[in-house]
């Protein structure tokens, strides 16, 4: 049983979102006494977030569900520097134009998950470039610099691990923790924000912001980190054998997104239902006890609930119907990726790459040699096989047991 009295910390703990909390007693009391404004930062380094970011988005969703106010901080300013946390190499530098385009592309994901309507708990989305790029360098050094020591900064994992591996850490990246700490100070001043949440790798950055806010303004603010979400096979969330599992529907089909969750390891189903859905906890307890083929019912609940939240109810229904048609009846589902085949046909290797099942024709040929490629459930062993599709008809292209697509005549 939880010792927390506030609905916020109880909810976070019950759903598996808590790894560390700064001053939990004081934060718990604050969450009982007032509406807390809390934020999570996201660096817009791509046109879409991926499922590895979903755990952080869920932190904001839980904040709102518990009756508090979430702020999404888009790191248009910090992304110009690059977070060294968990990285061995210097991040690719993006132009201001690219960062703005990425932010515009990402915004829709939050709109589906959080409530942005006006009110005491309505979410806000803010770009930290609004204040970071306006900061004068000498001003930053004079006002903020004295509150950071190199001795302390060198002890943080984001710096120490990079140096221990003798990997380069630029002075630019070294400043990231200062800018993120300044974000918390700025948000506390302008929005009364008293809580920062993030992944466990952000603990050092969060503590920096707490200490800076206390030293410069005498204000008490708090931090909560969530555990690093690893799958039972030891891999991080956000990647599949076919690349990143993007939240945006223009980056990844609804069917592939649904299928990612449907293919969850049996051992992860209960944990993921708690973290990534609103399925009641007693129902989660029932579902995670299912065994054998019955556990597939729990996986479908997981896939449907997450897809509905991220992509919308229509996308979830279409993906489930496609899966039923593709796997249950051996047919062709309506939500599968489609490749239009010209009248003269297309080579099997080119088709696999064009539809996105392989990243190159070389990989396609290896999959063919492994016997993993089928046309209409017939194994294709010839890498020079020419696929022809009669006018007005369709054929099914499959890679392994879980990747299926539609070949349609132009």
pLDDT, residue 16, reads 96
Helix (H) or strand (E) holding 40: strand 37-42
Question: Please, what are the domains in the chain?
Answer: 7-226 (3.40.50.620), 253-327 (1.10.240.10), 338-409 (3.10.290.10)
Q: State the Cα–Cα distance between residues 268 and 347, nearest whole angstrom.
A: 39
Q: State the Cα–Cα distance between residues 217 and 92, nearest whole angstrom.
A: 35
239-240 and 243-244 beta bridge pairing = antiparallel
CA 91 to chain centre: 18
More confident residue, 68 or 354: 68
133 close to 183: Cβ distance less than 8 angstroms: no
The SS3 call for residue 135 is coil
What is the mean predicted confidence (pLDDT) over 265-283?
96
222-226 and 403-409 beta bridge pairing = unpaired
Residue 150 class from Cβ within 10 Å (0-12 exposed, 13-18 middle, 19+ buried)?
exposed
**What is the Cα gyration radius of the chain?**
24
The SS3 call for residue 375 is strand
pLDDT, residue 185, reads 96
Is the pLDDT score of 84 beyond 70?
no
Computed over every residue of the chain, the mean pLDDT equals 87
More confident residue, 195 or 407: 195
Residue 41 forms beta bridges with which residues? 73
What is the mean predicted confidence (pLDDT) over 396-403?
81
Q: State the Cα–Cα distance between residues 396 and 410, nearest whole angstrom.
A: 15
**Percentage, residues of the chain above pLDDT 70:** 91
Is the pLDDT score of 364 beyond 70?
yes
Distances, alpha carbon 336 to alpha carbons 197, 312, 321, in Å: 37, 17, 10
Q: Considering the entire predicted model, what is its pTM?
A: 0.79
pLDDT, residue 1, reads 47
Alpha helices in 114-266, H assignment, sequence order: 129-132, 137-143, 150-153, 157-164, 171-174, 176-191, 203-217, 254-262
More confident residue, 284 or 136: 284
Residue 352 forms beta bridges with which residues? none
pLDDT, residue 167, reads 72
Long-range contacts of 141-148 (CB under 8 A, 24+ apart): 143/216, 144/178, 144/181, 144/182, 144/212, 144/216, 145/178, 147/211, 147/212, 147/215, 147/216, 148/177, 148/178, 148/181, 148/208, 148/212
Q: Highest mean pLDDT range out of 171-185, 204-218, 235-249?
A: 204-218
More confident residue, 139 or 326: 139
Distances, alpha carbon 173 to alpha carbons 87, 137, 330, 409, in Å: 11, 15, 52, 51
What is the mean predicted confidence (pLDDT) over 84-97?
63
Q: State the Cα–Cα distance between residues 211 and 330, nearest whole angstrom.
A: 60
Is the pLDDT score of 352 beyond 70?
yes
């Amino acid at each position: 049983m939880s010792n927390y009295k506030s609905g916020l910390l109880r909810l976070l703990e019950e759903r598996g979102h808590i790894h560390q909390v700064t001053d939990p007693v004081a934060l718990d009391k604050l969450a009982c006494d007032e509406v807390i404004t809390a934020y999570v930062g996201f660096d817009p380094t791509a046109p879409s977030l991926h499922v590895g970011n979903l755990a952080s988005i869920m932190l904001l969703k839980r904040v709102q569900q518990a009756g508090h106010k979430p702020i999404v901080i888009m790191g248009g300013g910090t992304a110009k520097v690059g977070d060294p946390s968990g990285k061995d190499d210097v991040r690719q530098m993006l132009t201001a134009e690219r960062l703005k385009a990425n932010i515009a592309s990402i915004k829709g994901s939050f709109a589906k998950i959080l409530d942005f309507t006006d009110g005491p708990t309505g979410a806000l989305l803010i770009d930290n470039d609004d204040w970071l790029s306006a900061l004068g360098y000498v001003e930053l050094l004079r006002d903020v610099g004295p509150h950071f020591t190199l001795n302390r900064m060198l002890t943080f994992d984001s710096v120490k691990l990079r140096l221990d591996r003798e990997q380069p850490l630029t002075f630019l990246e070294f400043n990231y923790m200062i800018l993120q700490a300044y974000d918390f100070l700025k948000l506390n001043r302008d929005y009364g924000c008293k809580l920062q949440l993030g992944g466990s790798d952000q603990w050092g950055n969060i503590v920096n912001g707490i200490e800076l806010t206390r030293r410069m303004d005498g204000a008490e603010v708090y931090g909560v980190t969530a555990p690093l979400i690893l799958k039972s096979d030891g891999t991080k969330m956000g990647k599949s054998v076919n690349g990143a599992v993007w939240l945006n529907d223009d980056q990844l089909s609804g069917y592939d997104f649904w299928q990612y969750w449907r293919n969850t390891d049996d051992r992860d189903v209960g944990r993921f239902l708690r973290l990534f859905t609103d399925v009641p906890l007693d129902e989660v307890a029932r579902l995670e006890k299912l065994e054998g083929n019955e556990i597939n019912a729990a996986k479908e609940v997981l896939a449907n609930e997450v897809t509905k939240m991220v992509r919308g109810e229509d996308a979830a229904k279409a993906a489930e119907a496609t899966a039923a048609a593709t796997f249950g009846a051996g047919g062709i589902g309506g939500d599968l990726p489609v490749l239009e085949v010209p009248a003269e046909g297309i080579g099997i290797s080119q088709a696999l790459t064009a539809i996105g099942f392989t990243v190159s024709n070389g990989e396609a040929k290896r999959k063919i040699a492994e016997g993993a490629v089928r046309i209409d459930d017939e194994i294709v062993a010839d890498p020079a096989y020419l696929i022809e599709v009669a006018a007005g008809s369709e054929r099914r292209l499959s890679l392994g047991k879980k990747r299926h697509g539609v070949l349609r005549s132009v």
